[in-house]
Structure 1
Amino acid sequence: MGTGDFYDKYCERTMNFAVAIVSFYSNHCKYKDETRIIGKQLLRSGTSVAANFRAVTRGRSSAESYAKLCIVIEETDETLFWLELLKKAALIDVSQIEQLITEVTELLKIFSTTRKNWKR
């Protein structure tokens, strides 16, 4: 497990997403208590997506990689939750988070489909 274009592509893509989350937090979440608290949750889950996807590629067995993929999906969905909360609570200008929401939604769909097709 862990070699191939799919894994290389999504290791890079999730790393870029993690960098975008770090940048977003640094630029938008430090100024109010509400955004700082939610932002820290977002920072943790958003960077965890990349770290755990990397672990998928390094699994010692198919079962271990599958379990890590399940964690990736949980963290991706949690990241989407925090972004949606920031948006719905009007704590962040929508234009500042739309691109992140689009990317995390796409990643969630891709990883969910990958998990669904894993056993086939």
Structure 2
Amino acid sequence: MKQNLIQEKSFSFALQIITVYKNLIKEKEFVLSKQLLRSGTSIGANVEEATAGSSVRDFRNKMSISLKEARETRYWLNLLTQGKLTALNLETELQELNAIINILYKIVKTSTEKSADSN
């Protein structure tokens, strides 16, 4: 089955986050690394659940959760970098995440508008 753009991007991003997590563990950053791993991999998991949604409302809700998880992940990445808690350069991950956030925002907005139009 062919994946759509957000499925591909969120899965690829989850793999990036797993790599970042492993590097943070090597740097002895245990608390924020787990938060980052949880939220960063949850984005794609919720996208997958959304694509198997039983209704438009279910789809929209799961995509909204993905968007919230993406914003949380951005918070953790910014905290790690701006708080100088890691020597890792996370600019690539932040750029990819911002692209994912933009896509998810458009998906949620469009599905909300379509839902409102059908009522």
Give the TM-score of the pair, scaled to structure 1.
Answer: 0.86
CA–CA distance in structure 2, aligned partners of residues 40 and 49 of structure 1: 15
Q: 1:9 aligned to 2:2?
A: no
1:117 to 102, 110, 113: 110
The alignment-based identity, stated in percent, is 32
Q: Does 1:53 align with 2:47?
A: yes
Quick one: which of 105, 108, 118 aligns to 2:98?
Answer: 105
TM-score normalised to structure 2 length: 0.87
Determine helix, strand or coil for the equivalent of 1:48.
Answer: helix
Question: Gaps (5+ residues) in structure 2?
Answer: 115-119
Task: Kindly report the root-mean-square deviation, in angstroms, between the aligned alpha carbons of the 2 structures.
Answer: 1.7
Query: 4+ residue stretches of structure 1 with deviation over 2 A?
Result: 28-32
C-alpha deviations, 1:60-118, integer Å up to 9, x for none? 11010011011001100000000000011011235x20001111111111111221122
Which position in structure 2 is the counterpart of 1:64? 58
> Match of 1:25, as an amino acid?
Y
Residues 29-70 of structure 1: CA deviation (Å, up to 9, x unaligned): 3432xx210010000000000100111101011010011011
Report the 3-state secondary structure (helix = DSSP H, G, I; strand = E; otherwise coil) of the residue aligned with 2:4: helix
Return 5+ residue gaps in structure 1 as ranges.
none
**Counterparts in 2 of 1:15-30, with a 5 A limit?**
15-30=11-26
